[in-house]
Each structure stands twice: as C-alpha cells, then as structure tokens.
A and B are shown apart, each in its own frame.
Chain A
Amino acid sequence: MPNFASIAKPGTTENYKTGSWRVYVPVLDKDKCIGCERCWEFCPDSSKIEEEYEGDTIFRTDLDYCKGCGICAEECPVDALEMELEEK
C-alpha cells in the first residue's frame, strides 16, 4: 500500500528562526516593565520570555522568533516597549 501520510515531528518549526523577518524590534525599558505579562499573552509568535531583573519579573523578547509586529508595544499598559528600526 502506498503511504499517503507525511509525518512531521512536533514543534519542529522552532528550527526556523522567524526573527530574520523582522524590520522593527521591540526595545524594553526594564525599569518601566511591571511584569504584567500582557505582551506575552498577546504575542502571536510566543516570543516573550519571563525573567528576573533586580528581583522583579519582566518579559524580554525572544529575538530568534519575534517578527516585530508591534502588538506587544501597542498593548503594554505602561509603555515599557518601543518599536525601533533594527540595525542589522
């Protein structure tokens, strides 16, 4: 019987770094960030990483996958994120 099914391994698009698509990059003011996680919740590319900064929780950008859409900067309640043209 011919095999019509193509089987891929789970989560393997992670091997493809969509960060190379980016034109603008979110730049975080760590002191302004209140760690509310909104940017993480709304990122279509799962590109926010929780980390500690001076004893507080902040969310930094995963530049491997961030496409630079700007949703995070738009939705941040304290304007801790600024979209800047990325120098490559």
Chain B
Amino acid sequence: MTRLEKKERFTSGHRACGGCGLALGARLAMKAVDDNSIATCATGCLEVTSSPYPQSSWKIPWLHSLFENSAAVAGGVEAALRAKGKQDINVVAQGGDGGTVDIGMRSLSGMLERGHDVAYICYDNEAYMNTGIQRSGSTPMNASTTTSPAGEESFGNENRKKNALKIAAAHNIPYVASASVAYPDDLIEKVKKANEINGPTYVQIHTPCPTGWGHEGDITVKLARLAVETGLWVLYEREEGEIKDVKKIKDRKPVEEYLKPQKRFKHLFKKEGGEERIQEIQEIADSNAEKFHLDEE
C-alpha cells in the first residue's frame, strides 16, 4: 500500500521531457482530485505533452481550452453543471504561468470575480516553455530567456517575478496557496482543500523545467526544494484573507545554491557585475523571510 494515493489520473506515456517538473506536478495534483472531476487545460507544455491526438494521458474528463481562457472554460463548465443540478462534480482549471499570469489573467480574474466553484491550478515553470522559453510575468529577475537574453549589456530579465498569488487573493476568494513538487504531501493536501472549498480557489505550483532552466533532469526535485529552502519560493496558504501555515525554514540557504546549477543564471557567475545581481536576488529572499517570518530559530 502506497502512502500517497496509488491511482494515477495523469498517466505515463506523456511526451514531457525526462525529469519534467510540470508532469510531476500534474501527476501529484491529480492524486488530489477524485474521479468525479472535470479538468480544463490551457495551451502549453502540459496540454501538448499530454494530448498527442488521438491519445490522452488523462483519466478524468479533460478539455483543452485556448491559451488564454482555461479559467473561463472551467467557469462555463461549472455553471452548466450547476444549472443541471450536478453540484457533486469538481471542476479544476489548469494553466501554465504564461497562460495564467499573463494572457489568461483576465479570464482568471473574471472567473474568480464571478465566484465559480472552480479550483485553479497554475503550473509555474517561470517562462513560456512550450514555444521556446520566452519570458513571462512569472520569470524571476535576472533569468536569461530567449526574449530576455543575457548578453554583453543585459543580465537577463529585468523585472521581478509577478506575485500572482497576491493578485488572486485580491479577489477576496476563500483559498489561495503556493505549493512545490518537492513537497508532495503538502501539494496534495492543498489541491484537495482547493477542491473541497466552495467557491473559487487558486493554487500555484512551482515546477522546475530542465529544458528551460538549463539543468539536468535528475535535480528537478532538488531545485524545487532549494527554491523553498533559500526563501525564493515561499510555501503558504491564505484562507479567508489570512496568511496561514507558512513553511518555516531552518538554516535558510544562500540563493547561490539554487541559482548555480541553472544555465539561465549562468551569466551571474561569469559576468562582471554578476555578484551585485546575485545580491539583488538574495535581497528578494531576505525580504520574503521578513514578510513571512520564514526563519525558524
């Protein structure tokens, strides 16, 4: 008997790269929904790798929306089920970070505003991976992508990562949470909660991408863990507006440990001025630690 639910609702044979954090995230998230669920999925790596027609990796009813409207389609599904009196069916909307925090933001905002009983899951691999690693609003500062390339002058992406968790929370929805593929129990518990709570909920899962971040596939989970252990990705829940259950960190690690194995940050360790940029990233971690009282004595 496995400790986590044995049943796979996102099954093997999908075409994601070896060591894909997104595929792991989806597999774990699908352990948190029951068979009586319907999922939507925005265009992106998850959709492309799991639905090579005429095949599908999904074992629950699943709809591919467009890139920009996973939340709207899910809201429509939920409204239709409500009209038919079938409220026992859970609706889960899924999208990548681009499909959520950029092009899908309007559709997500509308769904949250209208109060649909939908659990929205954002798989955050911090760029538009499926189309060749273009920067998104969720790309961290100083990361090199194909549209924010590091070069002689540039240190990569100039902007700070957009705080989509806070944007979701600003809709006064009952539940918002961050999760990571390095913490499967926590991830499953959060997606379960998001499903059980009546009304719109939002969970953002940090999912390393070996292809886009430039690291070996074997350290996907290790990197996801380092993002948490450095304070760059904070695990917490926000219930009815209140921040709860912050994952405390003992001996917070310096951000270099997280940055160094990734090619998207390679220039920071080579180029003159890189040290200051690393310091900038360290300051983001430090300010997270302060805001969330991360450090455990």
A residues within 8 Å of B by Cβ?
A: 6, 8-18, 21-22, 37, 40-47, 50, 62, 64-65, 67-71, 73-75, 83
Q: B54 at interface (Cβ–Cβ under 8 A)?
A: yes
Structural contact, A69 and B220, CB atoms closer than 8 A:
yes
CB neighbours (8 Å) of A75 from chain B are 221-222
Structural contact, A44 and B52, CB atoms closer than 8 A:
no
Secondary structure type dominating chain B contacts: loop
- A37–B4 alpha-carbon span in the complex (Å): 9
Structural contact, B12 and A71, CB atoms closer than 8 A:
no
Structural contact, B55 and A12, CB atoms closer than 8 A:
yes
CB neighbours (8 Å) of A83 from chain B are 218
A15 and B55 in contact, given A46-B12, A65-B12, A71-B217 (Cβ under 8 angstroms): yes
A9 and B184 in contact, given A44-B21, A69-B217, A73-B218 (Cβ under 8 angstroms): no
- A11–B62 alpha-carbon span in the complex (Å): 11
Structural contact, B218 and A69, CB atoms closer than 8 A:
yes
Give the 7 A-B CB pairs with smallest separation, nearest first: A70-B218, A13-B13, A69-B19, A69-B18, A67-B18, A69-B217, A65-B12
Q: Contacting A45 at CB < 8 Å: which of B14, B21, B53?
A: B14
Closest chain A CB from B51 CB (angstroms): 7
Measured as residues with beta carbon below 8 angstroms from the partner, the interface class of chain B is 35 or more
Q: Contacting B54 at CB < 8 Å: which of A6, A17, A21, A46?
A: A6
CB neighbours (8 Å) of A45 from chain B are 12, 14, 18, 23
Structural contact, A8 and B13, CB atoms closer than 8 A:
no
Chain B: CB-nearest residue to A10: B59
A8 and B19 in contact, given A15-B13, A71-B217 (Cβ under 8 angstroms): no
CB neighbours (8 Å) of A62 from chain B are 12
Contacting A at CB under 8 A, from B210-265, are: 210, 216-222
- A8–B223 alpha-carbon span in the complex (Å): 34
Q: Contacting A6 at CB < 8 Å: which of B3, B53, B220?
A: B53
Chain A: CB-nearest residue to B52: A13
- A11–B60 alpha-carbon span in the complex (Å): 9
Closest chain B CB from A23 CB (angstroms): 9
Structural contact, A18 and B15, CB atoms closer than 8 A:
yes
CB neighbours (8 Å) of B217 from chain A are 67, 69-71
18 contacts between A and B (CB under 8 A): A8-B53, A8-B54, A10-B59, A13-B11, A13-B13, A13-B56, A13-B57, A18-B13, A37-B4, A41-B28, A42-B24, A42-B184, A44-B220, A46-B8, A46-B27, A71-B19, A71-B24, A73-B218
Structural contact, A70 and B216, CB atoms closer than 8 A:
yes
- A15–B12 alpha-carbon span in the complex (Å): 9
Chain A: CB-nearest residue to B13: A13
Q: Contacting A50 at CB < 8 Å: which of B2, B58, B218?
A: B2
Known: A18-B12, A69-B218. 11 other contacts (CB 8 A): A10-B58, A10-B59, A13-B55, A16-B13, A37-B2, A42-B221, A44-B18, A44-B20, A46-B11, A71-B217, A74-B218
A11 and B19 in contact, given A37-B2, A44-B24, A50-B2 (Cβ under 8 angstroms): no
- A70–B20 alpha-carbon span in the complex (Å): 11
Max chain A CB contacts within 10 Å: which of B13, B14, B19, B20? B13
Q: Contacting B11 at CB < 8 Å: which of A14, A17, A21, A37?
A: A14
Q: B284 at interface (Cβ–Cβ under 8 A)?
A: no
